Every structure is written in C-alpha cells, then in structure tokens.
Chain A
C-alpha cells in the first residue's frame, strides 16, 4: 500500500494551481480530499508523475449565496455542506446528500469538487448535481468555462474536464416555493457507496400538479444520469401514488445497469425504481409542507 514515487506540488492560489496543471497536463493529478485518489495510488492503480495538492487553496472552501443561486467552492468538505445553515435552508438536497456520504471521518476530509471530478459511478454527488441542474466552473490557465451538470459526467470516472482544468465552483439554484427535494440511497454494506442513489427536486403548481421535476440517479450505470423517462411521465400530472409507482418503474430505462458481487443488473434496476419512487414521495411531501 505504498504509491509509486511522485512529485508533490502544493500551490497556494488557484492561479498557481492552474499554471501548474497546465504545465504538467496529463502527467498530473489533482489532490483534494484524497479519499479516492490516494487509495488508488497506494494500490498502484493510479501512478501520476505529479500530484498537485489543492489543500492550501482556502479560496475554494466557501459556501455563499449569489443572487438566486448558491455557489460552493470545490474544496468545501462534505461536512461543511452537511452542516451549512444556508444549504440546509435554501438547498437542503445538498445537505441531505452530504449526510449520506461515508462516515464522519470521510466527510471531514472529502470534498465536493474532488468527488465530482473523480466521477465514481457509485458516488453520491452526481445524482444531486443532475437533479439541481448544477453548473460547474472549470478554470484553467487559459480562462474559465461553465459546464452544465448533464454535460459534465462523460463516462465511467470520466468527466468533461480537460487536462489542465480545475473544477473551481459549483453553482446550484436555491429551492423555489412549493418545492421539495430528497436524496434516497441504498448503501453498500462494505463501502457505504451508493448501490443506488436517487436525488429528486420537484416543484408543484398551485393546483398541486407537478410543475417541474428533476431526478438524478447514481450507482446504476457507468455514470450518473437524469431519469428523463420518469420525469416525462410526471410533468404536468397530479402525483398520485399509483402514478409515482408507474413512472418510477422507468428509472433505469435505456441504462445498462452495473452488476457486481453485491447486486446484479436486474436487482439494481429494481432498486432504482424503488429508490426513485421513495425519493419522489419524500420530495413531494416536503413540497406540500
């Protein structure tokens, strides 16, 4: 459990970090909380020549309100998010998701940005990002660009970030009126990762119909996705118990579910339907409250 030798860099500003990242390109990996990269390096499954430790970038640890949105620095830890009064009030989905991650030790070290950039197929955050239509800011020596969550997750542990780019900010909308959200997760008994995780944000019309609904699903496929078929079945409709069950049955449509020692593809498919429905029920309950 000892990594291959590597060169360690500890920039003190985002500008310095992007300069390093651009110089070193594909030879470098960025280190945030280290909960995914370091184990892979210790197993020698990842052997980057350079590691750029972002741990000193205090400028990326904030959570703040900006107009109708909330901006979160990529290095905010899961614990910061879980315990943020702002998020608990205005975007509870993020706080709820954070609470479901690992254990207190993991939440104290692990970061939102690190987890997103790693894009583990069973990571918790991608589901919430998709459900919130989050925007992700990539900064490089050449400038910055904003990437929509649905374009960010490209494949298994692959994102839209190019070599040299650093995920700096995550921007999410606050919870509108008559809205509710929820994250339901089936934890793997060993890893605590999501066998299936469903994040939902739903907005009701004054008449109590579903005006908007967004569902992010993680753990099921090679990458997190929006359960578009379920959303389509629900928009503009009255959320009866039966409709929820029927709609949620489409939670894994068009997805080739992962299969592993713990859960077959068929079972994951089933769990996706159950967890999407349960998350919907909870989000609706909150929207009505």
Chain B
C-alpha cells in the first residue's frame, strides 16, 4: 500500500524538523500513543492504541528515524504488531520552506498483514489516510497555540492509491 500526501504547517521549517525529531512532541501527536520509549540504538519502542471507529487495537512496535538531513528530510521506519495483524512500513518526509511556513510532503510504502489485511482491504487505504491526518492535525497543534492555522493542503493531503 502506498501512502502519500502533504501538509502545510504554520511554523518555520527548522521548528517543524526539530519537533518532529523530539519524542515528546511525537508522543503527543501520534494517535493513541500510550508509550514512546527511546532505545539505545536511537530507535523508539512504541505502544499505540490505534484504529478507526470501533475497530481499535493495541499495537507494539518500533519506530526508527534514519537518514536525517536537518532541516530538509528524513526517513522513518515503522514496524508493529497487534491482535489485528502486523504493519511494516517505510516512508520519507521532506520539508520545504514556504514564506516562513513549511510544506511537508510524505510518501511511503506500508505492508499490512494478518486479519486487517484479509478483512479490511476496502477501507485500509482510507483508514491509513485518516490516521496520518490525525497525526498531522495533532502535530500542528503542538506547533502553535491556534489549531486553526494548520490545515491539510487541499486535495493533496491524502494518500494516493
């Protein structure tokens, strides 16, 4: 499954990059984040209670940030599993400065297995999009006091199929 999209964030690129690297901000932004502990190798161990509607499950996993090029881009690797199955993904996030604000582009590839893959194919793409949107909405609230100032950038703020 491919996930891609973009968000406009009302903060300078450096701030956005710094906060994306900061586990405290990430923990506050990740939907259903119950735990985000740094590991000695620089990755994080995470527990997320994640899902859509009544379909929620707890996933244990690892998040790793690699190839960080401040303040331009980094890659993120995610691996998790729970009762609903497993998710494995890798994505690239790049930041472009735009008049003191930041345009964030993300693109990634996720592999989903287990029950969610075999029963949820009709919704999985939309669910992924919704969860990513939730993350960025929450993350943009950590950037500024006013949550209204950050919005998905039009139709681009969603995964392509």
Pair B130/A45 contact, Cβ less than 8 Å? no
Judge whether A249 is part of the interface by a CB distance below 8 angstroms: no
| A47-B83, A155-B130, A156-B130 known; A261-B55 Cβ under 8 A | no
What 0/1 pattern do residues 145 to 157 of B give for CB contact below 8 A with A? Answer: 0000000000100
Judge whether A24 is part of the interface by a CB distance below 8 angstroms: no
Roughly how many angstroms separate A255 CA and B53 CA in the complex, as a whole number? 21
Roughly how many angstroms separate A256 CA and B158 CA in the complex, as a whole number? 8
Chain A residues near B129 (CB, 8 Å)? 222, 256
| A157-B55, A256-B155 known; A261-B116 Cβ under 8 A | no
Pair B84/A45 contact, Cβ less than 8 Å? yes
Chain A residues near B119 (CB, 8 Å)? 43, 45
| A43-B115, A45-B119, A254-B155 known; A156-B53 Cβ under 8 A | yes
Task: Determine the main DSSP class of A at the interface with B.
Answer: loop
Q: Which residue of B lies closest to A119 (CB)?
A: B53
Judge whether A19 is part of the interface by a CB distance below 8 angstroms: no
| A157-B52, A157-B53, A254-B155 known; A264-B161 Cβ under 8 A | yes
Judge whether B69 is part of the interface by a CB distance below 8 angstroms: no
Pair B54/A156 contact, Cβ less than 8 Å? no
What's the least CB distance linking B134 to chain A, in Å? 9
Q: Which residues of B contact A (CB under 8 A)?
A: 51-57, 83-84, 115-116, 119-123, 125-127, 129-130, 155, 158, 161
Q: Which residues of A contact B (CB under 8 A)?
A: 29, 36-37, 40, 43-48, 118-119, 121-122, 155-158, 221-222, 254, 256, 258-262, 264-265
20 intermolecular pairs with C-beta atoms under 8 Å apart: A29-B54, A40-B54, A40-B55, A43-B119, A45-B57, A45-B115, A45-B119, A47-B56, A118-B54, A122-B122, A156-B53, A156-B123, A157-B53, A157-B54, A158-B130, A221-B126, A256-B129, A259-B125, A260-B122, A260-B125
